[in-house]
Structure 1
Amino acid sequence: MTTTVVTGVSVVAPNGLGTEAYWKATLDALSAIGPISRFDAGSYPSRLAGEVADFDGRRHLPSRLVPQTDRMTQFALAASDWAIEDAAVDTAAIDPLDMGVTTASASGGFDFGQRELEQLWSKGPQHVSAYLSFAWFYAVNSGQISIRNNLRGPTGVVVTEQAGGLDAIAQARRLVRGGTRLVVTGATDASLCPYGWAAQISGGSLSTRTDPERAYLPFDRDAAGHVPGEGGAMLVVEGAGHARARGVTPYGEIAGYGASFDPPPGSGRPGNLGRAIVTALADAGMTPDDIGVVFADAAGQPEADREEASALTGIFGPYGVPVTVPKTMTGRLYAGAAPVDVVAALLALRDGVIPPTAHVTCGYDIDLVQGAPRAFAGRAALVVARGRGGANSALIVRTAGK
């Protein structure tokens, strides 16, 4: 079976634009959570977010694309450009039908949709952009990446909220194993607008605290919800043989994947996060002892945190593996969160260092890396993501060739 490796990565995150900027800020424990500036949130119960402050689509994309696209798509297009460049691949030299795209989205183009709805109600239908027909849609990032880079192979989108970022990468691995030479994959989300904000608040899981250091505290006994963010990451994946033929050193291998779904609330049955992790380990041909670090989902809600901590201790034992939550510095980026964690996991393996979790005092029997980075010699990392409604996903990356 084809070994699938990651040859290019790029990150758009609130605490860093570009992979190395994000990685440095994360190792320095620099948080970007703060008061929302993209709109006046004074009348809302939740007022903090992780915003990407230094991104201007006009600097990174052709001018014709900017009025056609939502902010989340501008993130996706720019990050895909950077990931392809990082992979040192000449897409023009490959048959377009041998290259595909698979992304995830949790919300679609909320910001674009809100602006056009405002035009509709204030000025009339003749003032609504024709681009609304696709700019708001969940699948638009895959389509725009495909068009921009002439990637005409298998293309699709998955929608499983925060778990979707891992599901998209797993689907990319399936495509490579099925014969597709190269796949651009990952996810970005950006719904920090009044329309998107109202939708998120209605879910009842946002923190209403105003202190950025006390608002999002996963695995802390003082946890009271999460802080949203915007951004994500894109990756280039391909078969190890193709990477070797190009003389490229991969960041690592996509070694294992598992997914599960929780029973409905109130059923009295336990959740199935542990099943997703066990499936990923079996898929990778690994045991819990082979995992050097876990990048947790970290919902920031007491019951969800308890369930995740219980799943981790049930598989790895109490304090059995280092656990980290870099998203405490960015907020939860929804579909974009897990791909960022996958990139961070690959960089942790590359550099032999686990990034820290900011602001949290752990209240569970897990070895949470807090305050400062920690050196380690692990060769495999587990990334966990859980989507609203019961979706669980787990993905293992390891040093290529191991």
Structure 2
Amino acid sequence: MTRPSSAPSPQAPAAGEAGLYLDHAATSPVCAEAAEAVLRGMRITGNPSSRHDAGDEAKDALETSRRQMAALLDCAPGDVVFTAGGSEADALAVVGTVLAATARSTHVITTAVEHSAVLESCAMAGELGAEITILRPDSAGRIDPDDVRRALRPDTVLVSVMHANNETGVLQPVSEIAHIAHEAGALMHSDAVQTAGKVGLAGLGADLVSVSAHKFYGPKGVGALKVAPRARLAPLIRGGSQERGLRAGTENVPGILGMAAAADAALRHLSDSAFQERRHALRARLLKELEAAGDITVNGDGAPCLPETLNVSFAGVRGDTLVDLLAVHGVCVSAGSACHAGSDEPSHVLTAMGIPAERARSAVRFSPGRTTSLDDVAAAAALTADLVGRLRALGPADTPQPAPA
């Protein structure tokens, strides 16, 4: 067989060249507003809990940030609890609810397509004696609210359903599920890490909402949890009385200021109709150009979805191999959740949707961002289609695929 040339498409970056970042679902670059706020926070000397002028300065900055985050989360400032990120916020919501429950038996409902931060928190709750029910989605990745209704029991203390999936971008009917949970007397938690700053959270209806700054152009290592007044949580980190006694430890003032500034910027973008139209145009252009590869499947097709997230399976190609080759050419994408990079197991999300293992292993996630242009997605798609053709020419995906040479 004549091996195809390795020369990249004319529109694509040259091999090794810093090129196109289309992995915003994994993390986003820090916006200028957030970077400036972090620097401002680093110049604040005091501890927010100290009773002197320096402490008051830090506390004032913290409470201003709390009001900014409340605007993003659509809640009162007093409902915002700062954490070290989305995973901690998920753990506090799930495990904290179970620990605070006074009933002898407790039951938690979640889904098979949740982020591992929620699934592992549910596993921990199970170790503490809670019974866990895990609901499966339909073939598009959506949870049926009636399945939640049927799973509810008198001892159900929490229903946890993510707002949008981190791998497929599929949006869940959280407000409808929250109404069902509340009718049964249960609390509702939603991991909104992928939607905060991209979709308005007003009317979500959840008592507990997790967000992470680095997904909406803030710094890494800081997040927040909305805790509605009706929610009762036990702290996971004990010590001081910070954050309403729910999260001990001196607050990360620079990180929190950066997160709040990023939240402000995100809210401005949400109200910009031209920007919102551009988000959908980027997805449409990306998908149209990727179709040149032939024999592709959009995972989550048919369900409402974030326009920033496009999960595509390329028949006959290993997704991880394609991701590695795209990286060599300066295009950053993912084969799934960044938390499981390097694993040979097919995505638990795609598996739960009933997608066969071969197709799941051929999946690649593209997630453009604010600064991505139509030309960027066209160039990335052209290179992707070119490499897919070359990989298919080298042999089946279930055998090791060398780089085209």
Scaled by the length of structure 1, what TM-score is found?
Answer: 0.24
| Structure of greater Rg | 2
- Name the one with the larger strand percent: 1
